[in-house]
């Protein structure tokens, strides 16, 4: 009798617990970013803003979902990023790690995400994240080094810039960018005359710029990001490099960089982006809302826009599933399966390797007299179809992609 009663209690518990588990609508998103250094304007605190906007716009809060956001500064150090990621998964029960600017941090963290079966929404630019370092848990959401190399490298080489010299950041992003760009440049009849690597967060570019100037290369490619790019461009102006006939190509460049430099210093700079705040009515509407909430009243960068759109798509996948399975690979598979259409990037599905197939655009920084307002800084030169801006799957090094 006692045994029967105990069995009935256990069975009753199971019956009441199962539906609760099936309807788990708790989500925790960890924005792992650069809060205080050279990438903090293009990601940083405003990546948290973009994430919270996506949550609000998803409509899930009104449908009874509990969605929490936490954030941390990885300080551009892979070991710190890994330590935070492990704590988030093991102690704080985070479901998603997003942002991860800095390719070295991103690749280190993506291994943790796979091990813990979470979701990784990555903005770091190395193409290896969906290549040889790809996992079923990671998505690349706005840009990669192949896009930058193809867009800017091919365009400028075809326009007569057939000799290049690179100033590249001395970590995985800079190295993969030079690798990808060199291949594209050579395929289009150009030649790379040399490369010099600089430490992350460099303040003095004089010795590197003198080497680039001495090379006589027609194009000096800047394989850096954020504050490093801005410093290099500013100091190149002091050296009279552009006035001397050489052209600067910022291989990774954001609206925040152009704003910090000002049109006078950045004018004529050519680069590739997948998002510009002033592209159409939808991007302008989003940018206006974003700026009202943003730190320093910044306009959204390509990375922040990509984070907003991918977070929105992640939440759409959870809603389609009907609950949070706390199974990253399953959720990422659903994200790849669903149409990925939004007002910022249009129809841009996720490919098998995790790369979002966003269109790219070749832009140029306007001359001061062409700019009509503080943030009116870019003009479009050319459209680049998504299929051309991504590494062909036939050449993919992603181990689980069928060629």
Q: Tell me if residue 327 falls in helix, strand or coil.
A: coil
pLDDT at position 237: 87
Domain residues of the chain, as ranges?
27-143+279-358, 146-278+359-389
pLDDT at position 23: 83
- 216: left (phi > 0), else alpha (psi -120 to 50), else beta? left
CA distance 139 to 124: 10
pLDDT at position 403: 65
pLDDT at position 386: 97
CA distance 155 to 291: 32
CATH class of the domain comprising 146-278+359-389: alpha beta
- The whole model's pTM is what? 0.92
213 exposed, middle or buried (CB, 10 Å; 0-12, 13-18, 19+)?
Answer: middle
Q: Which of 289, 353, 295, 340 is nearest to 71 (CA)?
A: 295
The first and second tokens of residue 191, run together, are: 């030649």
Q: Which of 176, 145, 328 is nearest to 251 (CA)?
A: 145
Q: Residue 319: in which H helix or E strand, if any?
A: helix 302-321
Instruction: Tell me the CATH number of domain 27-143+279-358, given options 3.40.50.300, 3.40.50.2300, 3.30.465.10, 3.40.190.10.
Output: 3.40.50.2300
Q: For residue 147, what are the CA distances in angstroms to 45, 150, 355, 376?
A: 26, 5, 11, 24
| Locus of tokens 């062409």 | 370
Angle between the 227-238 and 206-215 helix axes, to the nearest 10 degrees?
Answer: 60
The residues, any chain, with a CB within 8 Å of residue 206's CB and separated by 6 or more, are: 235, 239
pLDDT at position 242: 87
CA distance 237 to 260: 14
For residue 19, report the phi and psi dihedrals to the nearest 5 degrees: -60, -35
Q: How far apart are the first and last CA of the chain?
A: 63
Q: Residue-wise pLDDT tens for the chain (403 aa)?
A: 344 333 333 333 444 444 444 589 999 999 999 999 999 999 999 999 999 999 999 999 999 999 999 999 999 999 999 999 999 999 999 999 999 999 999 999 999 999 999 999 999 999 999 999 999 999 999 999 999 999 999 999 999 999 999 999 999 999 999 999 999 999 999 999 999 999 999 999 999 999 999 999 999 999 999 999 999 999 998 889 988 999 999 999 999 999 999 999 999 899 999 999 999 999 999 999 999 999 999 999 999 999 999 999 999 999 999 999 999 999 999 999 999 999 999 999 999 999 999 999 999 999 999 999 999 999 999 999 999 999 999 999 999 997 6
Handedness of CA 74, 331, 319, 275 (dihedral sign): positive
């Amino acid at each position: 009798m006692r045994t029967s009663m105990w069995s009935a209690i256990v069975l009753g518990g199971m019956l009441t617990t199962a539906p609760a588990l099936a309807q788990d609508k708790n989500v925790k998103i960890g924005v792992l970013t650069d809060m205080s250094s050279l990438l903090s304007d293009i990601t940083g605190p405003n990546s948290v803003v973009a994430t919270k906007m996506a949550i609000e716009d998803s409509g899930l809060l009104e449908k009874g979902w509990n969605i929490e956001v936490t954030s941390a500064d990885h300080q551009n150090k892979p070991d710190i990023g890994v330590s935070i990621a492990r704590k988030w998964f093991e102690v704080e029960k985070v479901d998603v790690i997003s942002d991860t600017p800095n390719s070295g941090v991103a690749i280190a963290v993506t291994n943790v995400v796979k091990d813990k079966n979470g979701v990784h929404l990555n903005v770091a630019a190395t193409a290896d994240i969906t290549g040889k370092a790809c996992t079923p848990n990671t998505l690349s959401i706005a840009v990669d080094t192949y896009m930058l190399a193809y867009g800017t490298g091919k365009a400028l080489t075809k326009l007569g810039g057939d000799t290049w010299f690179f100033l590249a950041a001395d970590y995985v992003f800079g190295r993969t960018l030079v690798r990808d760009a060199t291949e594209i440049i050579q395929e289009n009849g150009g030649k790379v005359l040399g490369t010099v690597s600089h430490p992350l967060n460099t303040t003095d570019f004089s010795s590197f710029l003198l080497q680039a100037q001495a090379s006589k290369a027609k194009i000096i490619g800047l394989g850096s990001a954020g504050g490093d790019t801005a410093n290099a461009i500013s100091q190149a102006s002091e050296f009279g490099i552009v006035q001397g006939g050489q052209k600067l190509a910022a291989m990774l460049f954001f609206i925040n960089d152009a704003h910090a430099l000002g049109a006078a210093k950045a004018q004529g700079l050519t680069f590739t982006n997948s998002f510009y705040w002033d592209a159409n009515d939808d991007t302008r509407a989003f940018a206006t809302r974003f700026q009202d909430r943003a730190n320093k009243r910044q306009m959204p960068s390509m990375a922040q826009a990509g984070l907003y759109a991918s977070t929105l798509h992640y939440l759409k996948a959870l809603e389609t599933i009907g609950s949070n399975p706390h199974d990253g690979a399953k959720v990422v598979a659903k994200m790849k399966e669903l149409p990925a259409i939004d007002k910022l990037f249009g129809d841009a599905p996720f490919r098998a390797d995790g790369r979002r197939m966003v269109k790219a655009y070749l832009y140029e920084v306007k001359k001061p007299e062409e700019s009509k307002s503080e943030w009116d800084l870019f003009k479009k030169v050319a459209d680049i179809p998504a299929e051309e801006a991504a590494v062909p799957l036939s050449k993919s090094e992603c181990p689980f992609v069928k060629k």
